Structure 1
């Protein structure tokens, strides 16, 4: 079993040989890499009988829409060496596996040549947590977001607006006020405020400009789809503004919900899995 002084940590890579010995891959050099996802505290805990891992696959380059926990089902994560070499691995929740600790202790070997940088480990943690912690909006509200405008749903058009800006955005937050859990009847509008949160530290002025352009496009889209806030009977967009992540307070976050587009893909029509927004740490 794993002892209290184990060097295993969440985000560690198994060697190819260990992955094969544990029957997680079919052959050496397959392009698959196995990532440990059990929490650091669970690895040496005697009450935990299994080590959780995900069998990922190497990709040539990261997809901007799949980094930083932007997609609830897929993640591109970066590992580095001391010499500056990088590999990118795509993870899917569907490829989670459990390995008995006694087997893991016997055959598990850590690939110490690659490390998961701090920001990447944070994204991995957020991605794992987001699968079960993401909010559910009222069904009536989500149905109205699927309204067809010029042959595409509103949510699909939101995704198209967000796609080129994704590397500068931290999250998209929806505020439905007192109706955030209410199924409103037809003809009664949801009053919505949107915060387009951008990375002020890394992106600076350019990120702010990108977020402001996204906000302008979203304002135009909602007015086209539902009319002005004064006349709307489905969704009344009261405000949509670019907000620096450094200005978002815990009090703000308690009033809003992060919006994730769950059901469509920009590459597929009509249905797939796509998530345009990142996860904000609090």
Structure 2
């Protein structure tokens, strides 16, 4: 029987904040990066193991958003590269932006003589962990489906007044319009989930339309009534549905028929539904066109 004393675990966990002074002292951030923070990205198991191959820790750099507000298109891990969160640090609620490409690797021993004072909240940590993993495990929609969204044009449902027809951007790309409403209304949304009626992995010919079903899922927040939660999801769902219904499609690429766009909450969106839909990562949508 072994009499070896159990190894003492250190306090560092995924989502721990490296104190700014330590990050500056070690040269992990530059002296002019006054708004930069570092969070631990390495998984807890790799942090605690003493294995020879786990002597390094991955840190991810984030910045404080000067606007003080998160963007709807970057919350809840919907964007594969950028994540926005609101996190309380030293009694101040900060809006932070993390970037998957802004990672550094440091020696684990350089952290072990110190202890973290802050760690991401439970909800932020769950989102952070899922977002890190999604970089390599995203659900892939058919290329022909994504191409249809980029080729289609729509009219904003707020600008259909015939008296001001000259102000209507009739050639606005559907992909851009979708990204705009998600940016505007996406902050309270946990995720947007899609179904293509069994054709989620099938490349259709241009003459074959995709049938699209959407579920817009809102966060279940403490102190917020079910009516308030479903109301926030309804606003976004209604705008998304209207954009699809007002779209004109490029026949050479193909069309999408929206069958449903349903608002719901985390509490009502079951595991059964999650397994049968694709979480929509809409980072491929671009606002850089000549609309």
Instruction: Tell me the TM-score normalised to structure 2 length.
Output: 0.78
Distance 1:180 1:225 in 2: 21
2:241 aligned residue: 219
Label 1:157 to 1:199 Cα distance change in 2 as closer, same or farther (>3 A). Answer: same
Distance 2:218 2:110 in 1: 44
- Equivalent position to 1:46, from 43, 47, 50: 50
Asked if the contact 1:37/1:54 (under 8 Å) is kept, the reply is yes
Are 1:161 and 2:167 matched, yes or no?
Answer: no
Q: Which runs of 5+ in 1 are unaligned?
A: 228-232, 272-282
Moved over 4 A (4+): 200-203
1:57 aligned residue: 63
Label 1:134 to 1:31 Cα distance change in 2 as closer, same or farther (>3 A). Answer: same
- Equivalent position to 1:75, from 73, 83, 91: 83
Root-mean-square deviation over aligned CA pairs: 2.5
Q: Secondary structure in 2 aligned to 1:251? A: helix
Are 1:9 and 2:9 matched, yes or no?
Answer: no
Distance 2:219 2:88 in 1: 23
Q: Which runs of 5+ in 2 are unaligned?
A: 1-6, 154-169
Distance 1:21 1:201 in 2: 39
Q: Secondary structure in 2 aligned to 1:94? A: strand
Label 1:103 to 1:208 Cα distance change in 2 as closer, same or farther (>3 A). Answer: closer
1:125 aligned residue: 129
- Structure with bigger gyration radius: 2
Q: Secondary structure in 2 aligned to 1:208? A: helix
Following TM superposition, by how much is the alpha carbon of 1:156 offset from its aligned partner in structure 2, in angstroms?
1.4
Instruction: Tell me the TM-score normalised to structure 1 length.
Output: 0.81
Asked if the contact 1:76/1:88 (under 8 Å) is kept, the reply is yes
Label 1:96 to 1:156 Cα distance change in 2 as closer, same or farther (>3 A). Answer: same
